[in-house]
A and B are shown apart, each in its own frame.
Chain A
Amino acid sequence: MTKPNDYNSVMARKAEIMLKSVGIDYSKFESGSIAFDYEKMMHETGYSLEEMQKIQYSVGVGNTPVLELRNITELARKCAPAGKGARIFMKDEACNPSGSFKARRAANAVYHAKKLGYKGVIAATSGNYGAAVASQAAIAGLKCIIVQECYDSKGVGQPEIVEKARKCEALGAEVVQLSVGPELFYKFLLLLEETGYFNASLYTPFGIAGVETLGYEISMQFREKYGKDPDVVVCTNAGGGNLTGTARGLAKAGASSKVVGASVNLAGLHMASDSHFNRKSFTTGHTGFGMPFTSWPDRSDVPRSAARPLRYMDRYVTIAQGEVFYITEVLASLEGLEKGPAGNTALVAAFSLAQEMDRDQMILVQETEYTGAGKHIQPQLSFAKDNGIEVLFGDPADEIPGKNIILPSHPSLIKARDVDLDHIRRSLIKTAINTYKVQPTEADIAFLAEETNSSVEFVRETLKSL
C-alpha cells in the first residue's frame, strides 16, 4: 500500500520515520514532564571517549595541530591596554579528511550506521557536515545522500553552499538541492522513508560525542606543549554541537578552561525568507541558528538534541560579518594561513577577548575550515556586492546585516559583543513551560537549572515572573 506523500501526511509520520532511521528510542529517557535524562541518553547511546578516538583515528580523523598565531597576537597587543593581550592559538581542524571538525561527528555517525547494518546515510545540511558525512560514507562503503538548501526562487545559489554541493558530489554523494524553506525537512523525511537509510543527524548522541575528542585533545596537547590548559576556548556557535562536544571533552580531561560561544550577528534577517537568503554572507555560525538553538535546543531533526550549548557556555558573544572577513584576510596576510570565513568567527571573538586577558594567558580558537572557490572571502564579498550589499570601511558596530558589511577601518575596532545569557536562560525556561504546559515538578526545576547552567533559585524566580 502506498502511503500519502502530501506535506501534512508525511509530517504526521515524523516520529515513526525518525525511530527507524536513528535507531534510538528516545522515550526511554523521558520523564513524562519537562525533564529528560540527558546523561543517560549520552551514556547509553554514545560511545566512550576511548572508543571514539579509536574509531576516528582509524579513518584519519583527529590529532590536528595546534598553531600559535604569533603575529595576530602581536596585532591584538598593539590594540590592547598596556600589559594585556593573551597568546592566541588555533586548532587546525581543516586538516581533517573533509576539511573541518565535522569529520569527528560524521565518523561516529557513519560508524554507528554501518554497525547497525544500514546501507546508506542521509544528512540534511548545507554546511561542512555534508562533506564530512560524504567523506566518511566513502571510507565505510555506504551510500550517501545530502539534502541542502541552496538556491533562492530566482535560482541563484549561495556560492559557499554551491561549493559544498560540489565537494559532496566529489566524495560520491547524491546531493538533493532545494530552494529556501524549512520544508526541506519534508523532503528529508521522504528520502529516509524511501531509502531506509540512517539519519546521520548532527544532533544525535554519537554525533555530539564525536566532538568530545576535540575538547579532550585540546587539553592533552596544551598540557604536553605548554604545561597547562588554555584559559579560554572559543567555539563558533550555530546548532550548539561544536560547543557542547568540545566542552564535554574538556570536562572529561578535567580542564577548567572557560568556554565561550561566538556567532556572527545576522539580526533582522529571516532564515526562512526567500528574499533574505542571498543577502546573508554567512551560511552557518550565525545568530540565525545560534540564538534559537541555544535558547531551545529541541528544535532539531531528532526528538531530543544531544547539543545543549547553554549548559556549557560561560559566555556568548556576537561579532559582525565585516569583522570575520577582515580577520580572515589578516590570518592569510599575517599568519600565512588561508581558511574559510565561517570558521574564523571564533577568531574574531578571540582577537577581542585576548585584549581583556593578561599576556601570559592563552586563548584558543578550536576550529578552522577549508577554503576554496565560493567558500572564500573574495567570492563572498564579491557576491554580497552583486546582491546590493554595501561593503565599506568603518566601525563594525554600525553594520546592518543584509544592508551593508562594515570592515573595521582599524583592528582596534574589532569588538566581541556580549549576549545577555540570563535573558536566554529565562527564554528557555519560558519555552519549556509553554511547550509542555505542565506545572513543573521538583525534577523539572532541577533539570531546568542544569539546562540553563544556573541555579534552582534562578529557575524558581523566573517561573514566578512568568
Chain B
Amino acid sequence: MVKKGEWVRIHKIILEPSERAPQVPDDTKQVPLEMWDKGFLQADANIGDEVTIETVTGRKETGTLIEVNPYYEHDFGKFVPELLAIDKQVREIVFGGDKS
C-alpha cells in the first residue's frame, strides 16, 4: 500500500495507436503516445492502480501508479577504451609523448 502524500511516478497513454497524427512514421504509428509525470499521491493506492497526483506546479494529473520515491539511475556508462586511445594519440602529436 502506498500512502496518500507520498512522492510517486505515474504512467498514462495519451494517444492510442489509432489516434496518432497522420504524419508519424509507420513504426511510431504502431505504438501509443505515452506520458510519465511525478507528484504527491492524492489517496492511498497500490502499484498498478489508477490514481490522481498533485504535481509540483499544483496541477492534478491521473494515470497508473508505477513507482514510489522515484529516482534517477543514469550514469557515466561503461568503460570506453577508445577514449584512452584518443588521449594517447593527440598528446603524442602535440607534446611528443614520452619523448619530450
Which residues of A approach B to under 8 Å, CB–CB?
Answer: 6-7, 71, 74-75, 78, 120, 143-145, 150-151, 153, 157, 159, 162-163, 165-166, 169, 172-183, 186-187, 194-195, 270, 272-275, 326, 329-330, 333-334, 373-374, 376-383, 385, 391, 393, 407, 410-411
Contact = CB atoms under 8 A, between A and B. Distances in A.
Contacts, number: 154
B15 interface: yes
B75 interface: yes
10 tightest CB-CB pairs across the interface, nearest first? A382-B77, A379-B77, A153-B31, A374-B74, A179-B34, A177-B36, A333-B87, A274-B28, A382-B78, A143-B57
Contacts of A182: 21, 23-24
A450 B80 CA distance: 47
Given A174-B56, A272-B28, A382-B80, A326 B86 contact: yes
Interface residues of B, number: 43
A275 B29 CA distance: 11
Interface of B: 14-15, 19-21, 23-25, 27-28, 30-39, 55-59, 72, 74-80, 82-83, 85-87, 89-91, 93-94
Given A71-B94, A374-B74, A378-B83, 4 more contacts: A174-B56, A181-B28, A186-B14, A381-B82
A407 B86 contact: yes
A144 B58 CA distance: 11
Nearest to B86: A329
B51 to A, nearest CB: 16
Contacts of B74: 157, 159, 162-163, 166, 373-374, 379
Contacts of B83: 329, 377-378, 381
A273 B85 CA distance: 34
B23 A272 contact: yes
A178 B33 contact: yes
B85 A183 contact: no
A180 B58 CA distance: 26
Contacts of B76: 373, 376, 378-379
A181 B20 contact: yes
Interface centre among B30, B58, B83 (most CB of A within 10 A): B83
Given A7-B19, A120-B57, A374 B37 contact: no
B28 to A, nearest CB: 4
Contacts of A7: 15, 19, 21
Contact of B82 (A78, A145, A334, A391): A391
Contacts of B85: 393
Contacts of A373: 72, 74-76
28 contacts: A71-B94, A75-B93, A144-B57, A159-B74, A159-B77, A175-B37, A176-B37, A179-B31, A181-B33, A183-B14, A186-B14, A272-B28, A273-B27, A333-B90, A333-B91, A376-B77, A377-B83, A378-B76, A378-B83, A379-B74, A381-B77, A382-B77, A382-B78, A383-B77, A385-B80, A393-B85, A407-B82, A411-B89
